[in-house]
């Protein structure tokens, strides 16, 4: 039953929808040197296209063929329909292999389905996945700026919301995951699990098939990111925003299936061989081998059904180039052959086995004809075969044997629900389905059909879009200031100790970054906040910088603070004076590097020799030559066997010893509060660049850290939290200086 109403669109809110999915709703095939486009079948395409045409919008996705093939064929132009723009996202053959075949399908697919042993962990495919997700985000960034609701689909594009949020901070974003979402202990196996969670949480609404998957996502946000989670409300507070997490079970195109079923008709049930039907894509998640073993057990236990039952398995080919799938196909072939060889009699073979993809025009008649649908995946996000079968039973006369591991089992409660791993239970469910009295069959199926018909795919689309619009409004209305959001998170943790050691980077953290470092002077408000913190007994303030200690003293100008200069090689403060003992033997190399850098001819670059370290500043160098100037500076530092580190438009050379801001922070807190300091004080580090990441990592598990950046850095961060700018840092210092956390 199709919903004819448009999703509500409040005044002043754009009604444009931009859909982002791995594939466009077309399939490209190369025939005789030319590329042709054919419409992709499926209820999702049938449901989304009318919405896009009605509201106006864009559908961005990969056209299904490598960019090299498109160029060789002279290009590819997707059809442009009234109200809808189809925007191809180009992928090279290598990207198709590594992003799609690699990280998406050999890493995420098995992990999300809880097949941990099958997941391939590969940093190279991860990097390609990141890059491709950025490209998909770029394809709809302009629509997001125009106020479109951007709806991102599925596991191929988990990072797209975050990439879009960086480009368009006030974008309206929704994400829907079509596959399962695993428990935290499974998801954390992936080294980049936290990056993916942040990617999804950049949305206003994160949608899942069933409540169980949403609950597991909430648990991951809480356990892996430390987010504040309101489970009853389905809310995650992330980076000052409230993200809605909801279940929206997808469905099928009821009207289209019923029309096909009506044309097909159905043979009389009496005195004929009972039909059992399975329809699956070739995949290890579908439980095909276990299903065949259950059928074999059924034939063993109930010989009276020999010659009275026929099982038809439609197997849709998938990923035939992957060795694991070829092996799975061989196992299925062999099992079918063995069972047929064991039980076949003259004129009767128990299993009919077809390896092909069938259009709905051919598949729906099989649904209507079948007495039993055997739908037993080992894990499935939803499984629409079960719902399609239900809709096709116009006489309310079939029975569904359904895996409890499929999302559909949440809705289709009148099905015979089984554990697909329990071969005996599935065999018994088959017997029950085939021997079920007519009144029970009709009662169960009528209830199933009513529910699916009332919640078809068109209703699903409308409800999701309404929920997404509402979530976007809620996120905007409930957004707390970044500092308030972090204070709420830090307060319970800080309250467990009487003192906090507060480490603060200087440039970019206490002051905005300046083209000339000498211009990065403390503002009056920042100086007053530091002075107030210095007078608070519960706060021990340490300023950490890549500047020389002498320069840092002059720039800060607040007596009584502990100062850490030259990335930790120099430390001075109440009760502590330190100079790294390994730095002295590299002074000659540093001086020689400074001379060589001064001889470079990059206009706008300049050398800052800080005694123990050197910085080659590039901020005033024109963008056209900056990268080349950076490479030349790095070469100079390597020539003199110095450690090289690139930061904000600068290249630094330092003694090649294992020492950085993180080591210095641990030295300060240990000297000041003893080796057992984690049991006595809290350590909080606030910084903005790559050199501070060392401290973030060093304090992980013992302290907390905050990255100062307008958006989460593209390369990620080891920090626990993020603040957008130095003004937000000042607000945090004032709150700490008030001592409120210790009350």
At 226, give phi and psi (nearest 5°): 70, 25
d(CA 13, CA 11): 6
Q: Are 722 and 707 in contact (CB under 8 A)?
A: yes
Cα–Cα distances in Å, from 670 out to 349, 663, 673, 680, 686?
78, 10, 5, 11, 18
DSSP state letter for 157? G
d(CA 198, CA 715): 12
Helix H, strand E, coil C: the string for 72-96 is HCCCCCCCCECCEEEEECCCCHHHH
Cite the beta strand spans of 90-213 per DSSP E: 149-153, 172-176, 205-208
Q: How far does CA 381 lie from the centroid of its chain?
A: 16
d(CA 61, CA 47): 17
DSSP state letter for 1? -
**Any catalytic annotation for residue 422?**
no
Q: Are 545 and 505 in contact (CB under 8 A)?
A: yes
Query: Which tokens hold the place of 279?
Result: 């329809």
Closest C-alpha among 578, 567, 713 to residue 644: 567
Closest C-alpha among 577, 536, 530, 581 to residue 671: 577
In the block, which residue shows the tokens 């195109």? 253
Q: Are 281 and 316 in contact (CB under 8 A)?
A: yes
- Within 8 A by CB and 6+ apart from 97, the residues are none
DSSP state letter for 7? P
Cα–Cα distances in Å, from 565 out to 551, 637, 664?
8, 20, 10
d(CA 234, CA 475): 13
Secondary element (H or E) of residue 311: strand 309-316
The residue from 49, 380, 462, 505 that is catalytic is 505
Query: Which tokens hold the place of 634?
Result: 């790095």
Cite the beta strand spans of 141-182 per DSSP E: 149-153, 172-176
Q: How big, in percent rounded to 5, are the helix, strand and coil portions of the chain?
A: 45, 20, 35
d(CA 387, CA 385): 5
Pairing, β 721-723 against β 704-708: parallel
Could you give the dihedral angle defined by the CA atoms of residues 40, 45, 51 and 56, in that order, rounded to the nearest 10 degrees? -40
d(CA 359, CA 357): 7
Query: CB-based burial of residue 400 (10 Å sphere; 0-12 exposed, 13-18 middle, 19+ buried)?
Result: buried
d(CA 505, CA 688): 7
Residues with a known catalytic role: 505
């Amino acid at each position: 039953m199709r919903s004819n109403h448009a999703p509500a669109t409040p005044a002043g809110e754009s009604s444009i929808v931009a859909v982002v999915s791995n594939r466009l709703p077309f399939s490209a095939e190369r025939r005789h040197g030319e590329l042709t486009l054919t419409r992709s079948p499926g209820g999702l395409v049938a449901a989304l296209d009318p919405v896009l045409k009605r509201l106006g919008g864009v559908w961005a996705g990969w056209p299904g063929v490598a960019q090299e093939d498109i160029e060789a064929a002279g290009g590819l132009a997707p059809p442009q329909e009234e109200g809808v723009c189809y925007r191809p996202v180009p992928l090279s053959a290598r990207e198709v292999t590594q992003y799609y075949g690699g990280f998406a399908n050999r890493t995420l697919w098995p992990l999300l389905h809880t097949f941990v042993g099958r997941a391939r962990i590969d940093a190279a495919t991860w990097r390609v996945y990141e890059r491709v997700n950025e490209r998909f985000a770029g394809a709809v960034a302009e629509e997001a700026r125009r106020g479109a609701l951007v709806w991102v689909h599925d596991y191929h594009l988990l990072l797209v919301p975050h990439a879009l949020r960086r480009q368009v901070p006030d974008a309206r974003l929704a994400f829907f995951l079509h596959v399962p979402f695993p428990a935290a202990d499974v998801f954390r196996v992936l080294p980049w699990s936290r990056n993916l969670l942040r990617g999804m949480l950049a949305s206003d609404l994160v949608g899942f098939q069933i409540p169980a998957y949403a609950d597991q996502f909430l648990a991951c946000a809480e356990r892996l990111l430390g987010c504040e989670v309101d489970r009853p409300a389905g809310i995650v507070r992330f980076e000052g925003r409230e993200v809605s997490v909801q279940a929206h079970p997808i469905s099928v195109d009821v009207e289209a299936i019923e029309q096909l079923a009506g044309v097909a008709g159905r043979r009389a049930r009496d005195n004929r061989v009972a039909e059992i039907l399975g329809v699956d894509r070739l995949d290890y998640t579908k439980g095909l081998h276990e299903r065949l073993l259950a059928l074999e057990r059924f034939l063993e236990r109930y010989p009276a059904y020999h010659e009275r039952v026929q099982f038809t398995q439609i197997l849709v080919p998938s990923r035939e180039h992957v060795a694991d799938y070829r092996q799975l196909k061989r196992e299925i072939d062999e099992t079918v052959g063995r069972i047929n060889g064991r039980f076949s009699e003259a004129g009767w073979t128990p299993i009919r086995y077809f390896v092909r993809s069938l259009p709905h025009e051919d598949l729906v008649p099989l649904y209507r004809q079948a007495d039993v649908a055997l739908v037993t995946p080992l894990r499935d996000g939803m499984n629409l075969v079960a719902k399609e079968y239900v809709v096709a039973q116009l006489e309310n006369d079939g029975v569904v044997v359904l895996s409890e591991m499929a999302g559909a089992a949440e809705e289709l409660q009148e099905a015979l629900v089984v554990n697909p791993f329990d071969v005996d239970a599935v065999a018994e469910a088959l017997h029950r389905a085939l021997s079920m009295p007519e009144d029970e069959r009709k009662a169960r199926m009528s209830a199933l059909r009513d529910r699916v018909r009332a919640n078809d795919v068109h209703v699903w689309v409308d409800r999701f879009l309404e929920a997404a619009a509402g979530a976007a409004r809620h996120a905007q209305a409930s957004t707390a200031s970044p500092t308030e959001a972090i204070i709420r998170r830090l307060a319970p943790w800080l309250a467990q100790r009487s003192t906090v050691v507060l480490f603060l980077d200087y440039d970019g953290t206490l002051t905005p970054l300046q083209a000339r470092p000498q211009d990065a002077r403390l503002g009056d408000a920042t100086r007053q906040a530091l002075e107030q913190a210095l007078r608070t007994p519960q706060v021990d303030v340490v300023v950490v910088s890549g500047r020389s200690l002498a320069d840092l003293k002059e720039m800060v100008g607040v007596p009584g603070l502990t100062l850490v200069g030259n990335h930790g090689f120099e430390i001075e403060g109440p009760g502590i004076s330190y100079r790294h003992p390994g730095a002295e033997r590299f002074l000659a190399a540093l001086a020689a590097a400074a001379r060589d850098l001064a001889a470079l001819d990059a206009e706008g670059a300049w050398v800052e020799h800080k005694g123990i370290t050197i910085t080659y500043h590039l901020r005033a160098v024109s963008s056209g030559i900056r990268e080349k100037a950076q490479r030349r500076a790095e070469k100079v530092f390597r020539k003199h066997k110095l450690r090289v580190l690139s930061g904000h438009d600068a290249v630094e050379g330092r003694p090649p010893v294992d020492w950085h801001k993180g080591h210095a922070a641990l030295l300060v807190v240990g000297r000041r509060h003893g080796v057992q300091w984690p049991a006595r004080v809290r350590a909080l580090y606030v910084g903005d660049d790559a050199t501070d990441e060392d401290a973030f990592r060093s304090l992980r598990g013992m302290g907390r850290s905050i990255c100062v950046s307008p958006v989460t850095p593209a390369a990620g961060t080891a920090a626990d939290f993020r603040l957008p700018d130095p003004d937000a840092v000042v607000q945090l210092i004032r709150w700490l200086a008030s001592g409120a956390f210790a009350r």
